């Protein structure tokens, strides 16, 4: 997993930071998608990740409220 993270970091760094310094006719441009995707992909991952975290936190809060409400109902019954 660490090797995958290192590869992704190196690839993204080369794509987003180093690629603009190469001539557009260079063969190295063939190894990377268009530069606009250097912004879109991380943004998409961020939105999906934050949505997943929000969903998890929300569902956890709802479960805790249901448990608390059920305890209250059992005590009063």
pLDDT greater than 90 at residue 24: no
CA–CA distances in Å: residue 18 to residues 32, 66, 76? 11, 52, 67
How far is it, in rounded angstroms, from Cα 56 to Cα 52?
6
What's the rounded Cα separation, in Å, for the pair 28 and 32? Answer: 8
Give the whole-number percent of the chain exceeding pLDDT 90. Answer: 70
- Do 16 and 38 meet the contact criterion of CB atoms below 8 Å apart? yes
Q: What are the C-alpha distances in Å from 67 to residues 56, 59, 72?
A: 17, 12, 9
pLDDT of residue 75: 87
- Supply the pLDDT for residue 76: 82
The answer to whether the predicted template modeling score (pTM) of the entire model surpasses 0.75 is no
């Amino acid at each position: 997993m660490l090797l995958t993270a290192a590869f992704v970091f190196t690839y993204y760094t080369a794509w987003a930071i180093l690629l603009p310094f190469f001539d557009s006719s260079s063969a190295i441009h063939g190894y990377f998608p268009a530069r606009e995707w250097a912004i879109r992909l991380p943004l998409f991952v961020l939105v999906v990740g934050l949505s997943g975290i929000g969903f998890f936190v929300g569902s956890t809060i709802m479960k805790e409220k249901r448990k608390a409400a059920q305890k209250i109902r059992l005590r009063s019954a």
